[in-house]
Amino acid sequence: MSASFRLAVIGGDGIGPEVTRAALRVLDAAERRFDFSTVREELRWSSARYVDSASRITPEDIDGLRAFDAVLFGAIGDPRAPRGVVERDVILGMRRRLDLFVNLRPIVAYDDRLVPLKGKRAEDIDLVVVRENTEDVYGQTGWVTGAGKDEVAEVPMRFTRPGIERIVRYAFELARTRPNRHLTLVDKANAIPVQELWRRIFDEIGEDYREVTRDAMYVDAACMWLVLKPEQFDTIVTTNLFGDILTDLGAAICGGLGVAASGNIHPGQVSMFEPVHGSAPKYAGKGVASPIGSIGAVALMLEYLGQSDASRAIEDAVRGGLQSGRIKGVEAGSQKTEEVANIVAMAVAG
Ligand code: IPM
Ligand code: MN
């Protein structure tokens, strides 16, 4: 019997719905070729809905996602809504409420012409960032006290031993399957002494993975080396905030935000997959946004669901399309969204 998966689809705002629709065309092709199916339910969660009806996504709404195997998410963000409110309800809400503690962000350059670094080629950029996704300064409100010149804004940078242990272990497990079996911890333990806890746990757990070589780097240096010598990286494990920053830089060295995809994972439970880019309101409804990030999210989702052949076929189709020049670029406006989806879907269909 062929596998079937329950899939929640949240297009969201701006270009989210159109890139998601395009990515689902690629999923259709993968289902036909690789003999599995999905039962899809579309959820209308968006800032636009908040603007129209002031309705918020609640923790109970998010609990409803547990009925699914995976969530394919587009983007949230609308300039008419107050900054960050709906993003926090939906994106950070899913990550925390569903305890999606792994944020898996591959940084892979598909073609030389997308690489903006002087003297570097696509083959020099192939790494994966494992970003902790539930702790740190994220998902806490903090507090603002005092008034006038006495105003103070504070939020704790909070890490727990179990929170660090599970992400570091996940990263070592991943690193042992990677080409160079190398794991780099990225932190700022010199200026932020509480991050010494990451170093200690990294070394403790590293002893269980003798086949994986390891090193540690401060985040400022990691940014520099990502630009100067990306080939030295294989797998990176890092905190929530640093992972956020590092992966936008990572996307940039692969051609831009339009190319990157992200898995928000709790192994064995419902997990969420999304492009790294946002809702890009200025391109919404024009059919010119690149669906590559969203297609990459589908590939990550299929890998997570155990459909590795389908996942690889999608990756290969994207790489092939970009290398042959049939896919013209990964920036909005390079080509019609639908046209890119068709090129990838046809290649996946075989
Ligand atoms: C990301 C985004 C989010 C984050 C925002 C929208 C809250 O930038 O997924 O990288 O900071 O994690
Ligand atoms: Mn980000």
Q: Phi first, then psi: what are they for 238, rounded to 5°?
A: -155, 175
For residues 298 and 237, state if they share a domain: no
Kindly indicate the confidence band of residue 335, based on its pLDDT and cuts at 50, 70 and 90. Answer: very high
Residue 243 lies in a domain: yes
Ligand nearest to the backbone CA of 103: 1
The residue whose CB lies within 8 Å of the most ligand 1 atoms, and thus the one to mutate among 244, 276, 277, 300, is 244
pLDDT digits (tens, 9 = 90+) for 245-300: 999 999 999 999 999 999 999 999 999 999 999 999 999 999 999 999 999 999 99
In the reported structure, the alpha carbon of residue 308 is separated from the centroid of ligand 1 by a whole-number distance in angstroms of: 27
Give me the number of domains the chain comprises. Answer: 2
Range of the domain at 137: 126-252
Residue 109 lies in a domain: no
Ligand nearest to the backbone CA of 139: 1
**Residue 266 to residues 96, 134, 236, 255, 304: CA-CA distances in angstroms?**
10, 11, 18, 29, 10
Residue 291 lies in a domain: yes
Q: Which long-range contacts (CB under 8 A, 24 or more apart) does 216-221 make?
A: 216/184, 216/185, 216/186, 216/187, 216/189, 217/184, 217/185, 217/186, 218/186, 218/187, 218/188, 218/189, 218/190, 219/186, 219/187, 219/188, 219/245, 219/246, 220/188
Kindly indicate the confidence band of residue 229, based on its pLDDT and cuts at 50, 70 and 90. Answer: very high
For residues 316 and 207, state if they share a domain: no
pLDDT for the residue numbered 1: 74
Residue 277 lies in a domain: yes
**Residue 103 to residues 230, 252, 300: CA-CA distances in angstroms?**
20, 18, 11
Q: Which of 235, 252, 269 is at the close of a domain?
A: 252
For residues 193 and 226, state if they share a domain: yes
Any idea what the CATH number is for the domain that residue 245 is in?
Answer: 3.40.718.10
Q: Given 188, 234, 283, 304, which residue is catalytic?
A: 188
Residue 222 lies in a domain: yes
For residues 136 and 248, state if they share a domain: yes
For residues 195 and 146, state if they share a domain: yes
Q: Which of 221, 252, 283 is at the close of a domain?
A: 252
Residue that is written with structure tokens 């992200």 in the block? 262
For residues 152 and 246, state if they share a domain: yes
User: What single-letter amino acid sits at 25?
Assistant: R
For residues 68 and 152, state if they share a domain: no
For residues 144 and 232, state if they share a domain: yes
Residue 323 lies in a domain: yes
pLDDT digits (tens, 9 = 90+) for 11-57: 999 999 999 999 999 999 999 999 999 999 999 999 999 999 999 99
pTM over 0.75: yes
- The residue nearest atom 5 of ligand 1, judged by CA position, is 87
For residues 63 and 162, state if they share a domain: no
Residue 316 lies in a domain: yes
For residues 11 and 55, state if they share a domain: yes
Q: Which of 252, 285, 314 is at the close of a domain?
A: 252
For residues 198 and 265, state if they share a domain: no
In the annotation, is 120 catalytic?
no
For residues 234 and 285, state if they share a domain: no
pLDDT digits (tens, 9 = 90+) for 70-106: 999 999 999 999 999 999 999 999 999 999 999 999 9
Kindly indicate the confidence band of residue 139, based on its pLDDT and cuts at 50, 70 and 90. Answer: confident
In the reported structure, the alpha carbon of residue 20 is separated from the centroid of ligand 1 by a whole-number distance in angstroms of: 18
In this model, does residue 140 exceed pLDDT 90? no
The residue whose CB lies within 8 Å of the most ligand 1 atoms, and thus the one to mutate among 47, 76, 83, 91, is 91
Residue 192 lies in a domain: yes
